[in-house]
Amino acid sequence: MRYVKFIYNPYSGENLILAKLDKVISIHQNAGYTIVPYRISRDEDVSEAFRDVKSCDYKYVLVAGGDGTVDSVVNVMAKQGISIPIAILPVGTANDFAKFLGIPSDIEEACKRIINSHITTVDLGSINDKYFVNVASTGLFTDVSQKTDVNIKNTIGKLAYYLKGIEELPNFRKLKVKIKSENTKFEGEMYFLLVFNGQTAGNFKLATKSDAKDGLLDVIIFKAIPIMELIPLFIKVLKGEHLDSENVIYFKAKEIHIECHEDIVTDIDGEKGPDFPLDIKCIKGGLKILGVK
């Protein structure tokens, strides 16, 4: 028997996976796999999904959810030393990491590609005692995803993030930060900072030069500038020209140390991140994955 641990989040996106469960199971059964499902619950830690991992020889872990769900599963696996491959069914609101890897949004197509693919390795980010697959961020608006009600996200999708962001505009302010890597130093005022393993955040393609296999993280710092200069900068973001702007600091690094004494939170893949100071590292080839284009 070939077993697949199937972890699905029934709350992700528009609850799409609930209507596709039979399709996921039938495609795998026809390919000779036995699905062992685990339904994520809001009142139970996802680590419960791996209680039988030592007694069952799983070929891979199939994760149906958004970036936050994938992040939660990867964190549990990394901390427990579980090194079997993962595969993603992107049914969340943004699905930034899956899109970066070229994984189809169609469930049936994604399942077939996963089953017929070979294992590849991509980089994994670590931040203090946690891990992230797509992006770690801090500064203004970084807690928007955490503050957005899951029911609203499921109803109106990505628009919920934008509406919540507008709601946070009265808190707009300059933030003092100190950042150091093996090749770059910055000490000054910023609005927000993102450290990418992937390319997009909230479907905005920001780390346009990111490569998930280069052993480096892409760091983008949006400096504190006069409000009137933000609109031209935003237009550059939409055009993908912001990395060359004098108002943006961009560099690649293996390790980044960040200090900040402001009253702000950190975010990793849409979930609350650790407190400052932050030690962020790239683990080259740290994640085994299936279904990558």
Q: Give the residue numbers marked as catalytic.
A: 271
**pLDDT of amino acid 117:** 97
Q: In one letter, which amino acid is 16?
A: L
Backbone dihedral region for residue 75 (phi beyond 0: left; psi -120 to 50: alpha; all else: beta)? alpha
**pLDDT of amino acid 141:** 67
Report all structural domains of the chain as residue ranges with CATH numbers, in order of start: 2-125 (3.40.50.10330), 130-280 (2.60.200.40)
Q: Does residue 274 contact residue 129 with C-beta atoms inside 8 Å?
A: yes
3-state helix, strand, coil in the chain (%, to 5): 30, 35, 35
**pLDDT of amino acid 162:** 44
Q: In one letter, which amino acid is 133?
A: V
Q: Does residue 135 contact residue 66 with C-beta atoms inside 8 Å?
A: no
Specify the DSSP element, H or E, that contains 33.
strand 33-39
**pLDDT of amino acid 144:** 54
pLDDT tens for the 293 residues of the chain, in order: 799 999 999 998 878 899 999 999 999 999 999 999 999 998 888 999 999 988 899 999 999 999 999 999 999 999 999 999 999 999 998 899 999 999 999 999 999 999 999 999 999 999 999 999 999 999 876 655 555 555 544 444 444 444 444 455 456 688 999 999 999 999 999 999 999 999 998 888 999 999 999 999 999 999 998 888 888 988 898 899 999 999 999 999 999 999 999 988 999 998 889 999 999 999 999 999 999 97
**pLDDT of amino acid 209:** 96
> What are the pLDDT digits (tens) for 263-283?
889 999 988 899 999 999 999
